[in-house]
Amino acid sequence: MALDKIQRDLLAEIAGLHGVPEGAYNIRSDGKLEARNTTANIDIVTKTDKPGIDIYIKDGTVNESMHIPVIIEQSGLKDLVYNDFHVGENCDVTIVAGCGINNCGSQDSQHDGIHSFFIGKNSKVKYIEKHYGEGDGKGGRILNPTTVVNLDEGAYMEMDTTQIKGVDSTKRDTRAKLAAGATLVVREKLMTHGKQLSDSLFVIDLDGDGSSANVVSRGVAREDSRQILVMKINGNASCYGHSECDSIVMDNGYVQAIPEITANSVEASLVHEAAIGKIAGDQITKLMTLGLTEAEAEEEIVAGFLK
């Protein structure tokens, strides 16, 4: 797998890769397959009807991982993929995704990734996704991830999604349906600056008895950036749902959090929490007494908040 320096740097940023990963992987670069590896338990098949791949994970697969990063250097590229994950029963796997864009041109570069998960009974999946943008061109860096999760009985999914730098516009759409005893845990971290826009939507259907979801979004809106967050949880059975928005607004930033919890069963227990505000002055003062400048103190607080 021969990659240039920009490609290697992007892979390090979004997937923590500094070489060829172990296990299964599918690396996409500028809209084309760059490298792929399968294992005895994880198969990756190119779709024939539309762009993207099907990933098949056998029953009982444990302690295995796969990487499916996307990197874009071509200015003006509009990349769209449909990736479907078919996870068997009684599995325990980690999936590392994400997209990095380096746009040094004048046209917008865009990646729309539509990921659908079909997770079998009593399986556990950890999904890590990071979005990152860089480049000195005037063209935009646009990332629109759609994640659709279907959890069978007793299945568990943990999602860690991060967007910290360089993405000019993002529409993040996450939808999930949970069967009896299934659990979904989501941790979203966002930072926007300049005139960047982030628009996030969560729609979670707790359909089975004993199902539960915990969705937490943390965001920092700096300069003239805008963040909009809609969190919907529908309790359709004897279930537990919790959503939380915790945001810091700096400069002329804008944050709007719209919670919606709906109980369609008398046995549903649903909670929403939201907190939006600026950095407390006493926090900055305390760090400045330790020798930091005001700007350095703000950076330390933001880094700790998004950790």
**How far, in Å, CA of 252 to CA of 225, rounded?**
7
pLDDT at 192: 95
Nearest CA among 4, 151, 157 for reference residue 71 = 4
pLDDT at 18: 59
The rounded Cα 254 to chain-centroid distance in angstroms is 21
The rounded average pLDDT for each run of 10 residues, N- to C-terminus, in the chain (307 residues) is 67 70 89 93 97 98 94 95 98 94 95 97 96 91 97 98 91 98 97 94 98 96 96 98 95 94 98 90 81 86 84
- Return the structure tokens found at 151: 């959890």
Spatial CB neighbours of 155, under 8 Å, sequence gap ≥ 6: 119, 120, 121, 122, 123, 124, 125, 179, 182, 183
The structural domains of the chain, with segments of one domain joined by +, span 5-278
Is the torsion defined by CA of 266, 187, 197, 78 positive or negative? negative
**How far, in Å, CA of 38 to CA of 26, rounded?**
9
pLDDT at 16: 74
**Other residues' Cβ atoms within 10 Å of the Cβ of residue 62:** 11
Task: Kindly report, residue by residue over 18-37, the tens digit of the pLDDT.
Answer: 566 778 999 999 999 999 99
**pTM (whole model) above 0.85:** yes
pLDDT at 280: 81
pLDDT at 23: 87
